Amino acid sequence: MNKKVEDICWYHGKLSREDAEDLLKQEPEKNGLFLVRDSISSAGDYVLSVIHNGEINHYQIRRHVEDAFFSIDERIKFHGLDVLIEYYQTNPNVLYEGLVLTEYIKGSQPPHDSRLLGRTNLLHRATLGGSLEVVSALLKTDKPPDVKDQEGRTAAHLASMKGFDHILERLVECDANVNLRDSAGYTPLHYACQNNFPSTVKLLVQKGGANVQARHTDSGRVPLHEAAERGYIEIVTELISVGAPIRPRNKDDATPGQLARMNGYIECAEIIEQYKHKVTRTEKSKWYHGTLGRQEAETMIKEYSTKNGTFLVRFSERNKQNVLTLIYDEEFYHYIINTNKDGFLYIDDGPYLDSLEHIVEHYSLMQDGLPTVLQYPVLPKPKPPVPEFSTMPRPKRKNKVVQSEPPKSSNTMPKCYPSQSQNIAFTCDIITSNNNNYNEKEDRYIPLERLTRGALIGEGEFASVYEGISWNFQLLCEWGSVSNKITDSLKTPYSVFNT
């Protein structure tokens, strides 16, 4: 990315949709004229408003969990709002046929925590120089601690690279975010592990709240990979002691122990491989429901709670595997819990874990790829009580000898009552997508030719809603015909067309 800071003044803050349209309508002939503003309906997100063929379109820019990652319509994910805008300035026909961002209505620079790159300033230079006095003075002037330099690094990155704990501690006290990634894809904790600073690692994790599972943007490596690959036993021990999983995987599925062995650090590899996990604090009886369908699981969660992080674990008859089902922002997510050849369990590209209990405990402590941490387990329904046997005396029966005949052939199979442990077996080698959000029920579909658009019902930030009339069927009778008229609502997204 080669844009100068002065070239990204397209941000207009809390501008409403109506005001954005008024600004753009002043020059309607400029195709691709745009601005970026805060999303009113979704905090932390942004909106791209742009003119295309005389019409004004609005595209929601979704902010992803952790750091400054953004996308439009879940397409390509970009590290930095500035990088996203530059991409659509140089790549036509991606948002819409013939559309490319050209000029912008001048506003201000986007927030520093939304950008990939910034400008090196006095705070960065003072941090590199190890001057606590200057850093403290700058932080007292309300200077944001997370401003990025031209390499996308914050003062926390620089202090961690140098092992300047005295400066890093001051930054943490001023609420510096120690989980941001720089343009190279690393967090401060990655750098502390690479440079063998055990005290810095401890400070970042215990005081700064650093994410031990933060992954490198491209390689997927977590801090434990960095330390193990270099044989830094003290850092490896520190990370494990604060709860870092011992078998995280990079993009090549390599674990820290494997990297240590590959580089000849056998003692380091053995420390990782021989570590015995503590007994989990969660119990399977609190959230495991046995065989349960997708719709049943969603219904049970709805009835229990719609709070973010409400969850259960079930056995899917369809996939013959266990599935984690959770709710976040009123949407359900279903994650297949896979097993590898060594018997370890995992979700998507997450770490290899020992058991279902370890899966639940891990994702209760950190998101690690999920939309939220697990918080509220849905208790299984209690089993029905065993019926009591009657104590009433029964009439005595005389024993009667009956000559038995060989049984006739029958198709009746002997009854078999499988144990519940069969529901936990992982024997199916199915290749599945990361998020098992398949749709088991047919979508309701009305052919376009049977729809008639009615009156405008309302408008939102990204779409208009019209009354829709569908003529469902027609009965021909001796005295005429009878039609069934169905009224529904039609949503027209601004990112597709305007009416």
Taken in order 192, 196, 197, 202, the sign of the CA dihedral is positive
What are residue 321's DSSP bridge partners? 316
The domains of the chain are located at: 5-112, 122-273, 284-377, 448-493
Q: How far is CA 458 from the centre of its chain?
A: 31
Tell the CATH topology of 122-273.
1.25.40
Q: How many CB atoms lie within 10 A of CB 162?
A: 19
Share above pLDDT 70 across residues of the chain, in percent, rounded to a whole number:
77
Q: Burial, 40: exposed, middle or buried (Cβ in 10 Å; 0-12, 13-18, 19+)?
A: middle
Please, which pLDDT band fits residue 387 given cuts at 50, 70 and 90? low
At the fourth CATH level, the homologous superfamily of domain 284-377 is SH2 domain (3.30.505.10)
What integer is the mean pLDDT of 41-64? Answer: 92
Nearest to 224 by CA among 180, 265, 172, 164: 265
pLDDT in tens, 217-257: 999 999 999 999 999 999 999 999 999 999 999 999 999 99
Determine the CATH number of domain 5-112: 3.30.505.10
pTM as predicted: 0.71
pLDDT in tens, 146-193: 999 999 999 999 999 999 999 999 999 999 999 999 999 999 999 999
Residue 28 has pLDDT above 90, yes or no: no
- Please determine whether the domains at 122-273 and 284-377 fall in the same fold group of CATH: no
Q: How many CB atoms lie within 10 A of CB 185?
A: 17
- What is the average pLDDT score of the chain? 83
**3-state class (DSSP) for residue 427:** coil
pLDDT in tens, 409-464: 444 333 333 333 333 333 333 334 445 554 444 445 566 666 677 777 766 655 66
For 183-282, strand residue ranges (E) read none
Question: Helix 266-273 crosses helix 233-241 at what angle (to 10 degrees)?
Answer: 10
pLDDT in tens, 314-338: 999 998 999 999 999 999 999 999 9
DSSP annotation of 343: S
How many Å from the N-terminal Cα to the C-terminal Cα in the chain? 37
Q: Provide the CB-side half-sphere exposure for 20 (13 A, CA).
A: 30
Please, which pLDDT band fits residue 406 given cuts at 50, 70 and 90? very low
Residue 194 has pLDDT above 90, yes or no: yes
